[in-house]
Amino acid sequence: MIGKLLGLAPTPTEDGAFSPSRFALKMATSPTTDYDGAVYPAPYTGTKKVLMVCTEERNLTMANGKKFSTGNHPVEMLVTMLHLKAAGFEVEVFTPTGRSVKIEQWAMPNEDKAVMALFAEFKTRFAAPKSLADFVGGDMEQSEAYAAVFIPGGQGALAGLPESEVLKRLLLWACSEDLFILSICHGPAALLAASQGQTAGDFVFSGYAMAAFPDSVDRQAPMIGYLPGHMPYRFGERLKALGVTLVNKKADATCHVDRRLITGASPEAANAFGKLAARELLDSLASG
């Protein structure tokens, strides 16, 4: 009752899950972003695209059995896409089976004109994305269509993606083809898919350093009603156990490049992350 009065209680949804409390939304979301309208003087004019893998699951089950109404975080996804598009790259939208992309609508920056225009442009593609299973089971091995794989964040990145066999196959193929892999906030949790059936020494990202949303901040989230319970597991701890070094301790604007892996720490990093990813892709394709 006290939590409800103070606005700290998670908000029930129609399907029996919970979205963040009023207080959490005031603390953690904004109606605008810091997208700076970056201009790339020499945008890419080739044919290679960015393959974006999104979650198709709406709810993530917490450790206490309650469900969190989640999806991909719109700022992390759309601000990055704005930079990629400005740099000349087409983004193709995929989910594991082709079901619709789930987005944390409660985090949508509704007063950000650039973000909302891009969201409107991609609305039909989010509703009917391509199937990653079809791509992986089809012409993936022969495909030369892509320069990068992008996995946006939001706690929804933990809903099905870390256990996905098709995502595992995509990640291993992307690494073997020397594609860039871009991931921000909770997105790096999806990289755990590549660890299925492997030991730490065999994990394709063992020895890498990356930025990611800190487990310590997720542990605090139930206190303000952002989450209806603790996360089902600490994905940062799992990555570290597999030989990954995490470079940030705060949910801040940290971005990091390690070989072809580009990562960001939180929604605060979205603008810098998108700019970094675009420039790294442009530099690589210009030189190669």
State the DSSP H helix or E strand holding residue 81, giving kind and residue range, or none if neither.
Answer: helix 74-86
Task: Go through 76-113 and write b for each residue having 16 or more CB atoms within 10 A of its CB, e for each that does not.
Answer: bbbbbbbbbbbbbbebbbbbbeebbbbbbebbbbeebe
Tokens linked to 127: 């509703």
The catalytic position among 54, 175, 185, 255 is 185
Burial of 181 (0-12, 13-18, 19+ CB in 10 A): buried
- Strands 59-61 and 180-184 come out as unpaired
Tokens linked to 288: 């190669």
Decide if 255 is catalytic: no
E strand map for the chain: 11-12, 18-19, 49-53, 59-61, 67-69, 91-95, 130-131, 146-151, 180-184, 209-210, 245-246, 255-258, 261-264
Closest CA to 144 of 79, 213, 49: 49
Instruction: Determine the 3-state secondary structure of 206 from DSSP.
Output: coil
Supply the residues annotated as catalytic. 185
